[in-house]
Structure 1
Amino acid sequence: MRLIGFAGWSGSGKTTLVTQVIPALIARGRTVSTIKHAHHDFDVDQPGKDSYEHRAAGAAEVLVASSRRFALMHEYRGEAELDLHSLLARLAPVDVVIVEGFKRDAFPKLEVHRPEVGKPLLQPDDRHIVAVASPKPLPGLTVPWLPLDDLDAIVGFLIANDLA
């Protein structure tokens, strides 16, 4: 499995770009999965649902399944949070895994940068950033610049560099 991260500050457009890249890669014959790191208190379950009640009662894992999908919820209950590679091992094999988050981990990343967000580039300090996508070219980049509004250029770069 190839692994490519999308890194950037909140409000830079990471999720928007990821949701455009996924179908573009699928159209080019790739199978794609994603891993998204979330805030500590996120929950996919809701009070009153049976699965929530199972977890509240102490179940370590609850798997909810239907004819369309399944979701596995694992409660850490004092265990350490799984690292990225442990989470990758839980995925079914695909061609590409897109990661949003885990920006401190060492794997190839595409930085999404919008100057109007008012935050500095991550690229000078993260040697794992392979390119920067932004609305306009940025001075001083030591990696390729990709136009944020050119999906074909971004996906083409990922494929050409064996990242997708």
Structure 2
Amino acid sequence: MRIYGVTGWKNAGKTGLMERLVAEITGRGYTVSTVKHAHHSFDVDQPGKDSHRHRVAGATEVLLASRNRFALMHELREEGEPTLESLLQKLSPVDLVLVEGYKRDRHPKVEAFRAETGNPLIATDDPTIRAVASDTALTIDRPLFDLNDTKAIADFILAEVAL
């Protein structure tokens, strides 16, 4: 499975770039799935709904299904946080998986960078970052793209994964 990441500090533009890349790449006829890392507890369930009640009662997995979609929730009661590799194995085959976050994992990535956040450039010390998408001019040793030039960033990623 081909995977490529979008990484960066908080408020660097990762989610917006991911959204635009998914639209651009699927618009070219490729299938894309995404994996998003959250650094905090989150809930896709609504308190009081049946699926939430099942999970709170102790179910390890709850599969919620309709004719439009299904969602499988797996409660990590004692297992700890799953690795990116183990999560990728749960996905159906697609042309490309775009991964948001997981900056410490070793897959190739584009770093989203906004000067206004005041954070340092991650790419300086991370060879897995193959390019930077920025809102400001930078002097770096790898390709630099305008953060809003989705087409050029998509071209770069697709070339990197041989699609």
Same fold (TM over 0.5): yes
Alpha-carbon distance in 1 for matches of 2:2, 2:115: 29
**Alignment correspondent of 2:47:** 47
Specify the code of the residue in structure 2 equivalent to 1:14: K
Alpha-carbon distance in 2 for matches of 1:54, 1:47: 11
List runs of 5+ in structure 2 lacking aligned partners: none
Using the size of structure 2 for normalisation, the TM-score is 0.96
Specify the code of the residue in structure 2 equivalent to 1:84: L
Alpha-carbon distance in 2 for matches of 1:26, 1:75: 31
Specify the code of the residue in structure 1 equivalent to 2:110: L
Query: Equivalent pairs: percent with the same residue?
Result: 54
Task: Name the SS of the counterpart of 1:42 in structure 2.
Answer: coil
Alpha-carbon distance in 1 for matches of 2:153, 2:80: 35
CA displacement at 1:163 relative to structure 2 = 6.2
Conserved 8 A contact 1:4-1:163: no
Task: Name the SS of the counterpart of 1:124 in structure 2.
Answer: helix
Alpha-carbon distance in 1 for matches of 2:138, 2:77: 45
Task: Name the SS of the counterpart of 2:123 in structure 1.
Answer: coil
CA RMSD of aligned residues (A): 1.1
**Alignment correspondent of 1:118:** 118
Alpha-carbon distance in 2 for matches of 1:8, 1:40: 17
Alpha-carbon distance in 2 for matches of 1:38, 1:69: 22
Alpha-carbon distance in 1 for matches of 2:102, 2:71: 21
Task: Name the SS of the counterpart of 1:71 in structure 2.
Answer: strand
1:76-132, Cα deviation, whole Å (9 max, x unpaired): 111122100000000000000010111111110100001111000000111100000
| Mapping 1:1-164, distance limit 5 Å | 1-139=1-139, 141-162=140-161
Cα pair distance change 1:163/1:22, threshold 3 Å = farther
List runs of 5+ in structure 1 lacking aligned partners: none
CA displacement at 1:162 relative to structure 2 = 2.1
Task: Name the SS of the counterpart of 2:130 in structure 1.
Answer: strand
Task: Name the SS of the counterpart of 1:16 in structure 2.
Answer: helix
Specify the code of the residue in structure 2 equivalent to 1:23: A
Conserved 8 A contact 2:115-2:136: no
Conserved 8 A contact 2:5-2:109: yes
Using the size of structure 1 for normalisation, the TM-score is 0.95
CA displacement at 1:6 relative to structure 2 = 0.5
